[in-house]
Amino acid sequence: MSLRMRRAALILALLVLSAASADTLRLKNGGIVKGEVLRKKADRVLVDLGFTVLSVPMDEVDSIAPDGEAGPAATDEHADLYRSAPGQGELTVKENVERVGESVVEIRTSIGLGSGFVIHPEGYVITNDHVVAGEHKLSITLYKKGPRELEKLQFNKVRIVATDAHLDLALLKIEDIGDRIFQTVPLGDSDALKQGQNVFAVGSPLGLERSVSQGIISLKNRPMGGMLYIQTTTQINPGNSGGPLFNLRGEVVGVNNMKLVEAGVEGMGFAIPAGTLKGFVRNRDAFAFDPRHPNAGFRYGTPPKP
């Protein structure tokens, strides 16, 4: 056997061995890397792909699942714009902010501002309908951590894809992205929330971008106005609207949208459950934005009386 054939056979054997014992790395941008994890360092993880060793920055890694524990794919639940990450481990709030921070954005309109979060690497963003209602010109600001300083990225070409006033949800698309791939956050299971569970919010209350607040789940299914909301003690203020409510696995379990404001009332914020959000995204064609009626999706006239 020639030297070239022996090398080819060795590479093939390594590929088979790697595939047989492959760990799964889920990246923050939604990508997946499969290979044997050789070593974990504070700033990176070394992965054997069989034919080469890949060095992956640790701050780009969402989760690492050992061989045989990869769990469901990141794009399950018939989703094409959002992902889930059921194998993602719990971290402290501080560690989670590092993990999810670059996916939380600030949304500005001609009359106000709100928050939002990226669910797809191509620039699809979730926020509240009341943040963008009646608006055509939007801008989105993202804060990216660089090697030496924080980079502020502003996108001025933003399209409203779908919106619904009753659900108070809107889906946006950043159009001027070039070849940029956005970091995303996974959507969690809001039905699995427990009373007293720790959660936290990231957003731009009063325009103070990248603000973090922490609280617990007061009740996961508070009925109000014909809708079910997550009630939380997490501080929600003007500007937090449309921003994510996270569990400690870094999953979005709700979309912050309101608080009770009365004398003597404190710690009563509300969020739209992730389950409602998933249904909105999957059925976005039913809520497609019509520029002739900028406050909602499709509208149907009242049927004639018999």
* Residues tagged active-site: 130, 168, 241
CA–CA gap between residue 287 and residue 243 (Å, rounded): 20
Q: What residues contact residue 189 under an 8 Å CB cut-off, 6+ apart?
A: 84, 251, 253, 274, 275
CB 267 within 8 A of CB 290: no
First to last CA, the chain: 88
Q: Per-residue DSSP letters for the chain?
A: --HHHHHHHHHHHHHHHHHHT-EEEEETTS-EEEEEEEEE-SSEEEEE-SSSEEEEEGGGEEEEE-TT---S-TT-TT-SS----TTPPP--HHHHHHHHGGGEEEEE-SS-EEEEEEEETTTEEEE-HHHHTT-S--EEEEEEE-SSSEEEEEE--EEEEEEETTTTEEEEEE---TT-------B--GGG--TT-EEEEEE-GGG-TTEEEEEEEEEEEEEETTEEEEEE-S---TT-TT-EEE-TTS-EEEEEEEE---TT--S-EEEEEHHHHHHHHHTGGGGB--TTSTTSS---PPPPP-
**Please, which residues bridge with residue 116 across strands?**
105
